[in-house]
Each structure stands twice: as C-alpha cells, then as structure tokens.
Chain A
Amino acid sequence: MPIEVKNLSFTYSAGTPFETSALKNISLEIKNGEFIGVMGHTGCGKSTLIRALAGLLRPSEGSIVVDGSDINGRRYDRSKLRRKLGVVFQYPECQLFETTVEKDVAFGLKHSGLNKDEVTERVRWALEICGFDFEKIAKASPMGLSGGEKRRVAIAGVLAVKPEYLILDEPIAGLDPLGREAFLELITGLNADGMTIIMVSHNADCIGEYARRVLLLNGGELVGDGSPQELFSDVERMRSLHLGVSRSREIAWLLKKGGMDIPQDICSYDRLLPAVLAHLRGGDEHD
C-alpha cells in the first residue's frame, strides 16, 4: 500500500510575527518499492517534508495517508508508523547513547513485542547487513568507534525494526568515496528486496545514478516530479533552482553543446560511456 500526500502545507509559528511557511500545497503518491530522490536548495522544505512524512510534525493543512490510514488521524497509533517507517537523519552517529552497540541497535525494538531471542536475531541481522561481525562489535561501546563505524551502527539501529519505508536525509554527507559506494550498494540491495527508499541528497550524482524518481522542491513547493532523465534534461532550469545535475548528465550536455550528438536523457555513467563510445565509433565510420 502506498503513501498518499494530499495538499500538504506547513506553517511555522502560525499567528505570530515569526510566521513562515515551509511547505505549500504538496500532493504526491509514493508506491511500494520505489527509490525516490528528493532534491532542493537549502531551506526548500526538504527536512519539513521528511518530518511530516515520518509523523514528527503535524501539518497545518492537508493529509498524509500511509497504507490506508491518516497518520494524523485521532485514532491512529503512531507506534505502528514507527515500525513501518524508518528515518535516518543527517549525521545519524549523533544519536548513539547506549553503553554497548547491541543495546543501541536494539533500542527501536523495545516496544515491538519481540522476545529476547528474536531481538538478538534482529540486531545480529541489522549489524551484519551493515558490514559488522556481530560477535566482535556487539559488546563494544559505541562511543569508542570511528566516525564511519558509528554511522553504520546508527543505520543498523534504524534497519533493525525492518521498516517497509526508509527515509534518508543526506546519508552520504561526510563519508569517504569507498564508504559512499558501500552505503549506496546496501541501500540498493534493500530496495531490491522491496523496501521503499526516499533519499534526500544534495549530491546529484548519487540521485542520478540510483534514484528511479526525483522530487524537486523549491521554496516549499513541489516544482518537479519525474525520472532523473526527464528532470535533468533541462540543465538550465535545474541551475535556476540552485541545483546541479549529475556529472554524467553535465558531460553529456556539454558534449552536445560542443557539437557531439549525444542523447540528452543520460544521467548515469553506465549510459554515458557507451553513448560516447558509440558516437566516436559512428564518427570514425563517417570519416
């Protein structure tokens, strides 16, 4: 069952001199198993949208329906939403607090109704999927780990509840290139197993390469909703929204400007390289 957002608006400090509107009349539908990228300039309402979707902010107007029930409805049990939808905030390593890694990862399972063995099994699964050796890491203090390890422990803590929907806010910020690659592989794997992914990122490369659908936000409004190929095709419009396009798309655009006949719906290296090669070979034949 999908997530349906209808006419969502959010205003901070309504009725005071500090009133600012962060989201304006947003409607969209998220189907199961999608991999969605969310892009927008700083202050575009991305974080407000994430918080509203996760049921952390009550919208001023409009509704969010998850699996058929309104999450802001009077009778709705928020704890159901917490088990269904996981959120990885920016720099999630900051949220670690327990004395051992095992306890920290198990935090979200406290009210899940699972018994002790099931909880341990879940924690083991989550830590292993995040690339740890359970036996080695379980009893360690999360405070003594390296930055990258801390982040993976924090993500394991979100994955441990096996959410159907996973929201990620700038998950690759501050990771080294290898860490990025490994992380995006993990997310793609989860998506292939049926988890719906909503990933907010400034990084157009990572959105262009991995997301199947992109949402563009500007000044609290939804100004684009489509595949990265469609949205990135208009490079100038993306720039006017203070956003970049993936480097592969940029290269394709520049090559076209330079007179090469390259298809303009390319936004990943997987497709750019064959296209350039094909063009060069084609060029050779003409000579």
Chain B
Amino acid sequence: MSMTERMTGQFIPGASLLHSLDARAKLFGFILLTAAVILADTVAGYALIIALMLLLTAVSKLPVSTVVGSVRRMFWFFVIIFIMNCLFYSAEDPIWSWWIISLSKAGAVQGFNVMFRILIILVLSNIFTLVTPPLEITSAIQSMLKPLKLLRLPADDIAMIISVAIQFIPTLLQEADTIKMAQIARGARFESRKLHERAAAMLPLIVPMFLSAFKRADELATAMEARGYRGAKHRSGKKAAPMPAGSYASILFCAAVCAAEIII
C-alpha cells in the first residue's frame, strides 16, 4: 500500500462550527473533555458523555462512519482489554479463580468501564483531528508550551525543534515511500510467517531511513551554524493572534461538562 493513502483520523476540510473554532480552544476543550470522560463513573455520567458525543458528531457534520473509523479497526484490542480486566481483577468474591486469575462480577464491570472510556476518548480524539488542520494543532501545542518558560525550561528552543520537525515531515515521508518501493522492487518480503524473517525485513527500511534523515539533519545544522545561529531566543517570533470570544465560550462549555462529571 502506498503511503499517500489517507489514514483514519486525518483532517477533512469542512465548514461546520467545530471546523471554525480556534485550534487552541479545541485542544484545550479536548483535554477538558478527556478529563471528563476519565472522571465519569455513574450511569448518569456515562449518559451525559454519550449525549455529548452525539452532539459533537452532529455539529461536526462528519459522516458517522468516518468518526468511528479507527474504533472498528481496534476491535480486538477492546476484546483483549475487556478479558484482561475480567480475569485479573482482584475482587473479594470471585465466581471462579485459579492462581492469579479470578473471574468476578466486579471485574467484568471494571472491564466494561475501561473499554467504554478508551472508546469514547478514541472517538473524541478522532473528531478533534478530523476537524482541525494538522498545522493548526501543532501551533496550538506550541502556544501551550509557553508556560514552560515559568519553569525555566527553554520553551523557545523546544518550539524551534518542533517546528523544524514539522518542516522535515514531507521530505521524510517521500523518502520513506521511495525507500520502501525500492526495497520491495529489490525483492524485500514482509509477508513471511516467521517472526524473525519479518523482523529482518524491517532492517532494509529502517537503516536507510535513519541514514538519510541524519544526513539531512547534518546538512541543516551545518548551514545554521555557518549563518551564526546560536539559539531560538535571539530570533524575533511572530505574536499569536488573540482567541475570538466564541472560542472562550466553547472552552467554558467543556469546563462545565467536566465540572458536571465531578458532581455526578
């Protein structure tokens, strides 16, 4: 499969209310809602979360199949999480137990809780990345790094490293695609049943990828030093635009949901 295929959860342009919100507000709201999901532990709390999911999906105007896309692929993961919780939950009144394994009603409930939380957060993160362009997400993350300065961390350098990383992505993706195709054309096989053969097949992809990435890094670092680059602090940065009022309202809404979950 070519790497130019789309991944699930990748941004789809649109004109909904969620699309139009400021990325910083969406990121902050997403973190608040994730906290709300983790806090939820009653039937009423779960109902509120499910209602919220339905509302967000409707407002985003995205097809439901797209929103739950990655959930379907992770079906077996959910099954394993559920079984693990059922079997390893150490409750006082097991229905059946042997060695460290014990099957109990409390374990099954716990398994369901864990599964439900992961599922909802998965859908939530899907909606977030579907309605927000990648570059806006990364600049939102960068602006969230600002408080790091208060902790005397080199926030400017970190922001520089992250933006260089983003700039490298398209080139490295193309490189990865070419290397993969070249090795397949040379006869590399990935479909072997034996684990060690499959593992060995990774080497022709990984080693060239690191070599070419480090070569590019070396060239860029040399060029930056030659031009007298000393550190990100000495550069003048663009000032970020203030967030519109609607975005503050959406953060407030998410905070309210979060508070509601604490109360319920």
Contacts and interface: CB of A to CB of B under 8 A. Distances in A.
B134 interface: no
Main secondary structure of the interface of B (DSSP, over half): helix
Given A97-B207, A108-B186, A158-B186, A51 B181 contact: yes
B204 interface: yes
A57 interface: yes
A109 B188 CA distance: 10
Interface in A1-32: 12-13, 16-18
A86 B185 contact: yes
Nearest to B200: A110
A151 B212 CA distance: 14
Contact of A87 (B6, B175, B182, B206): B182
Interface in A50-66: 51, 54, 56-57
27 contacts: A13-B4, A13-B6, A16-B6, A17-B12, A54-B185, A56-B185, A82-B185, A87-B181, A87-B186, A89-B182, A91-B178, A94-B182, A94-B208, A95-B179, A95-B183, A95-B204, A97-B203, A97-B206, A97-B207, A97-B208, A97-B211, A107-B186, A107-B187, A107-B188, A108-B187, A157-B186, A158-B186
A208 interface: no
Interface residues of A, number: 33
A97 B204 contact: yes
Given A87-B186, A92-B182, A96-B211, 17 more contacts: A16-B6, A18-B6, A56-B184, A82-B187, A86-B185, A87-B181, A87-B182, A89-B178, A89-B182, A95-B183, A95-B204, A96-B208, A97-B204, A97-B207, A143-B211, A157-B186, A158-B186
A89 B212 CA distance: 15
Contacts of A94: 175, 178-179, 182, 208, 211-212
B188 to A, nearest CB: 8
Contacts of B189: 79, 111
B4 A12 contact: yes
B5 interface: yes
B178 A90 contact: yes
Interface of A: 12-13, 16-18, 51, 54, 56-57, 79, 82-83, 85-87, 89-92, 94-97, 107-112, 143, 157-158, 161
Nearest to A109: B187
B4 A87 contact: no
Contacts of B208: 94-97
B29 to A, nearest CB: 25
A165 B17 CA distance: 55
A83 B185 CA distance: 9
B2 interface: yes
A13 B2 CA distance: 10
B13 interface: yes
Contacts of A83: 187
Nearest to B14: A17
A95 B187 contact: no
B53 to A, nearest CB: 24
A82 B184 CA distance: 8
B157 to A, nearest CB: 30
